[in-house]
Amino acid sequence: MVLVKILKRRDAASVVVAIMLAMIISSPISSVTVSLANKISGVSNGGYGVPGGGWKNEYMFPIVWAILQLIILEILGWVYTLTNRPIKQKR
């Protein structure tokens, strides 16, 4: 795959591709984790940024949401490394 070849290089093109991939991946990860963060933090009025939400809306929800996004990224990283390892051993 061309993107993988570009990411393996250590130049500006790999940085641009990595940033674009991060922007593409951030939307689905956010949409998956926001509802779970609402349930965990106990926010019932739609989430972060809604006025009058109290401390859960202002402090707890963003922290829980960030932690959930990091967990999803860690899982994706593990899936990538586990699926990529057998392919490299065949060569």
Answer whether 45's CB lies under 8 Å from 88's CB: no
Query: What does the pLDDT read at residue 64?
Result: 92
| pLDDT score, position 22 | 86
**Token pair of 28 as six digits:** 């689905």
pLDDT in tens, 66-89: 999 999 988 888 887 788 776 555
Q: What is the pLDDT of residue 88?
A: 53
* Model pTM above 0.75: no
**Residue 45 near residue 57 (C-beta atoms within 8 A):** yes
**Per-residue pLDDT reduced to its tens digit, 33-65:** 888 888 888 887 665 556 666 888 888 888 999
| CB of 68 closer than 8 Å to CB of 37 | yes
Count the Cβ atoms, other than its own, within 10 Å of residue 59: 13
- Domain tally for the chain? 1
pLDDT for 73: 85
The parent domain of residue 67 ranges over 2-90
Which residues lie closer than 8 Å to 54 by C-beta, 6 or more apart?
none
pLDDT digits (tens, 9 = 90+) for 16-37: 888 888 889 888 888 888 888 8
